[in-house]
């Protein structure tokens, strides 16, 4: 019983911290590029035709009712207009329904060549955002008796139990068949999301991401590609910082990944940012990619949290009528319409900026 109470108190601390003015943060996925449209609007339509992507994350399963996050996206590339259009839905459940944050967004990206082999993709995400709390399910300190018994208590005073607002994000990305790099600025519309008289807003989040691929064996008609990819993602959100860096090894049909999350150099408030090792295994079966990842905790939560389990599914189906392109540099995806190799009559690949 004492162990359960300790877990409950820890969970409440996590949730109430997330309500604070300086600590509100967005959910993140370990399989960064398995949820590409969630990562950046610039990934919208980065496929030969249509794509759906589903990601589910169960964080800290060793602690009851912590974090469960779901992301679903559907996007399509309209070759005639050099544009990708899609929808993305994200739901973050904290404390078994005690605090829920969710949003649905309309995403758009425009693609144009900078050179014969390098492309630029600005993107936008306009989303409807909702955050709500269930006061009846919260457990307050005066409800815990001296023997660990759960006692009756009055529900806390909340001015509002839900908030709804519109938000927006903007991004830009440069990519080729060998590298990519981009930036996202999210929460461009500031709103108060506090459930009490203390102001609580989601701070602007800035994300930098990128990487490159080295091919040990190129793809031909008779053999598949063998390659290694180095990638990273760095996020800043007010006082919060996060760095994910890792690599993928691809040999059909497997894609194996090893990532590290943390900033081992320096500390914040006396705490070292040394979070987790992430192990990823993916299978490519035709147009379908299935993958699983496990976060091995390196912080003081190791042995208590249970790490994190994450599952993802990507289904790509081509409707453009052109040949499928190579995988490109970006993990879990395609290099878009590879115009410098598959010359479509409707493309104007020679119109570049440089």
Question: Domain residues of the chain, as ranges?
Answer: 2-317
> In the numeric block, which tokens belong to residue 327?
């995988």
Q: Is residue 19 very low, low, confident or very high in pLDDT (cuts 50, 70, 90)?
A: very low
* Pick from 143, 83, 72: nearest CA to 110: 83
Specify the higher pLDDT residue, 343 or 221: 221
**How does the average pLDDT of the chain come out, rounded?**
79
Q: Are strands 179-186 and 205-217 parallel, antiparallel or unpaired?
A: antiparallel
Q: Is residue 15 very low, low, confident or very high in pLDDT (cuts 50, 70, 90)?
A: very low
Residue 279 bridge partners (DSSP): 258, 294
3-state SS, residue 168: strand
* DSSP per-residue letters across 239-257: TEEEEEEEEEEEETTEEEE
Q: Percentage of the chain surpassing pLDDT 90?
A: 45
> In the numeric block, which tokens belong to residue 24?
């509100």
Per the CB < 8 A criterion, the answer to whether 193 and 201 are in contact is yes
Main-chain dihedrals φ then ψ at residue 34, nearest 5 degrees: -85, -10
Enter the pTM of the model: 0.80
Render pLDDT for 195-247 as a digit per residue (tens, 0 to 9). Answer: 555 556 778 999 999 999 998 988 777 888 889 999 999 999 888 889 999 99
- Number of helices (H) and strands (E) in the chain: give both, helices first: 2, 15
Per the CB < 8 A criterion, the answer to whether 242 and 259 are in contact is no
* Pick from 164, 163, 166: nearest CA to 189: 166
Q: Is residue 290 very low, low, confident or very high in pLDDT (cuts 50, 70, 90)?
A: very high
Q: Percentage of the chain surpassing pLDDT 70?
A: 69
Per the CB < 8 A criterion, the answer to whether 229 and 250 are in contact is yes
> In the numeric block, which tokens belong to residue 115?
């050179």
**Could you tell me which CATH number the domain at 2-317 has?**
2.40.160.40
Q: Is residue 146 very low, low, confident or very high in pLDDT (cuts 50, 70, 90)?
A: low
In whole angstroms, give the CA distance from residue 280 to residue 294.
7
In whole angstroms, give the CA distance from residue 129 to residue 126.
10
* Pick from 324, 314, 292: nearest CA to 52: 314
């Amino acid at each position: 019983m004492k162990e359960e109470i300790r877990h409950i108190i820890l969970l409440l601390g996590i949730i109430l911290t997330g309500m604070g003015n300086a600590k509100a943060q967005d959910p993140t996925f370990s399989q960064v590029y398995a949820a590409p449209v969630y990562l950046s609007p610039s990934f919208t339509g980065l496929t030969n035709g249509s794509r759906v992507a589903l990601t589910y994350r169960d964080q800290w399963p060793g602690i009851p009712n912590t974090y469960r996050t779901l992301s679903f996206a559907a996007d399509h590339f309209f070759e005639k207009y050099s544009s990708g259009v899609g929808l993305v839905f994200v739901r973050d459940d904290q404390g078994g329904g005690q605090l829920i944050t969710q949003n649905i967004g309309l995403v758009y990206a425009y693609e144009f060549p900078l050179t014969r082999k390098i492309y630029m993709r600005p993107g936008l995400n306009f989303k409807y955002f909702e955050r709500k709390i269930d006061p009846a399910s919260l457990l307050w300190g005066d409800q815990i008796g001296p023997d660990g018994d759960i006692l009756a208590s009055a529900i806390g005073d909340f001015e509002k139990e839900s908030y709804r607002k519109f938000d927006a994000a903007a991004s830009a990305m440069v990519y080729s068949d060998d590298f990519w790099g981009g930036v996202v600025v999210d929460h461009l519309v500031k709103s108060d999301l506090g459930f009490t008289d203390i102001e609580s807003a989601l701070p602007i989040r800035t994300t930098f991401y990128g990487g490159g691929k080295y091919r040990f064996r190129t793809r031909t008609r008779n053999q598949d590609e063998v390659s290694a990819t180095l990638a990273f993602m760095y996020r800043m959100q007010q006082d919060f910082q996060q760095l994910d860096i890792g690599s993928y090894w691809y040999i059909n049909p497997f894609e194996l990944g090893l990532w590290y999350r943390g900033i081992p150099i320096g500390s914040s408030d006396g705490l070292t940012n040394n979070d987790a090792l992430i192990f990823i295994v993916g299978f490519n079966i035709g147009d379908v990619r299935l993958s699983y990842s496990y976060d091995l905790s390196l912080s003081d939560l190791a042995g208590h949290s249970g790490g994190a389990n994450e599952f993802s599914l990507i289904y790509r189906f081509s409707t453009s009528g052109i040949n499928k392109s190579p995988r490109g540099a970006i993990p879990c995806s395609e290099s878009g319409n590879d115009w410098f190799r598959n010359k479509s009559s409707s493309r104007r690949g020679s119109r570049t900026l440089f």
